Structure 1
């Protein structure tokens, strides 16, 4: 489990591409290496990966085919930075919102508005079936970052980025057309799906 408060950057050091799986090696900052061990869960751009190997500040994780298809991890390049968050431990503060690390899909950046102390990203849903889970002022997780939804227009929505988030995550490196991982808020999805199911069951009973 994660909170959407990014701990720092990791730099992609090596990618070994095999059939239906990638072996990803990243270099962590020393501050994130304390007590890390094989089997730990670490979110890379919001995607929960399991540590397979550790050498000093370098960790290796496997990215399976399904993850490559549904996230932006398959497009990573050597030297690129990814957002990193270590899993929550008992007693940790939940600074953002509850995140599973199971990325739903990707969204595409269609507009970046940047002015003094005001940075807004507009994003388009690739999977339009996710629109029913996007609510103004609702939680959303993008590349592992807990954010709040702003305006919504058709299959597009925006998020406002505060300076702290802009300078301490990979958002500052994003461009028009960049893909970001999206994880729908679990509680929002549960409420919407349950409501839909109850309405459908009621309609069936009426018939």
Structure 2
């Protein structure tokens, strides 16, 4: 379980490809690997992966073909930066919203607006998932718990403050870049329950 509060950025050092599997070697800040054990869960751009090996500040993660297909991890290459969050522990403060680390789909950045002292990112999401996207609702983008701003058709935006841009990879994004999306589980449960009762909400409304 994760909170959606990104703990920092790490850098991909190597991607080792094998049939049906890719192994990511990722260098973390030294202070963030203290107490890490083999088998620990870490969210990499919002995707829950398991530590399989440690060499100093480098952690190794295996990702199966299905994970690579459903997320943006298959696009990672050496030198790329990623958002990370180690799994939450009992008693930790939940500053964002509860996440499973299971990515539902990907979205594409279609517009970047840079007014003074903040940034607004517009995303295009597959139509089938828009029924779970509401203004002021929660959504996880590359592992970060964010509040949805405006919703228009199959697009929505988020507004980012300077601290979020500094502490995450959002300060480095570009148009047409794809990101991982995890829908808020409570919102999904409510929408799906209402749909079963006949109170369906057309996507994009």
TM-score tier (shorter): over 0.9
Shift of 1:79: 0.8
Instruction: Name the structure 2 match of 1:177.
Output: 176
Distance in 1, Cα, partners of 2:91 & 2:5 = 15
Q: Which runs of 5+ in 1 are unaligned?
A: 201-207
1:144 aligned partner: 143
Q: CA deviation at 1:52?
A: 0.5
Separation in 2, partners of 1:56, 1:94: 29
Q: 1: CA distance between counterparts of 2:168 and 2:37?
A: 24
> In the alignment, does 2:96 pair up with 1:92?
no
**Aligned-residue CA RMSD (Å):** 0.9
Structure 1 residues 166-205: aligned runs within 5 Å: 166-199=165-198
- Following TM superposition, by how much is the alpha carbon of 1:162 offset from its aligned partner in structure 2, in angstroms? 1.1
What's the secondary structure of 2:147's corresponding residue? strand
Q: 5+ residue gaps in structure 2?
A: 200-205
* Counterpart for residue 16 of structure 2: 16
Q: Which is greater in Rg?
A: 1
Quote the offset at 1:154 in angstroms.
Answer: 0.5
Q: Which residue of 2 aligns with 1:35?
A: 35
Q: Give 1 or 2: higher helix fraction.
A: 1
- Corresponding residue of 2:134: 135
How does the TM-score come out when normalised to structure 1?
0.94
1:58 pairs with 2:58: yes
Q: How many residues align?
A: 199
Provide the residue aligned with 1:102 in structure 2: 102
Q: CA deviation at 1:118?
A: 2.3
Name the SS for the 1:53 alignment partner.
Answer: strand
- Which residue in 2 is equivalent to 1:112? 112
What CA distance in whole angstroms lies between the structure 2 residues aligned with 1:72 and 1:187? 24
Cα distance in 2 between the residues matched to 1:115 and 1:107: 23
User: Hey, what does 2:202 align to over in structure 1?
Assistant: none
TM-superposed deviation, 1:36: 0.3
Q: Aligned to 1:199, what secondary structure does the other structure show?
A: coil
Deviations for 1:127-173, whole angstroms, at most 9, x for unmatched residues? 21001000000000000011000111100000000111011100011
Query: Residue in 2 aligned with 1:6?
Result: 6
Partner of 1:161: 160
- Cα shift at 1:106: 0.6
Stretches of 4+ moved more than 4 A in 1? none
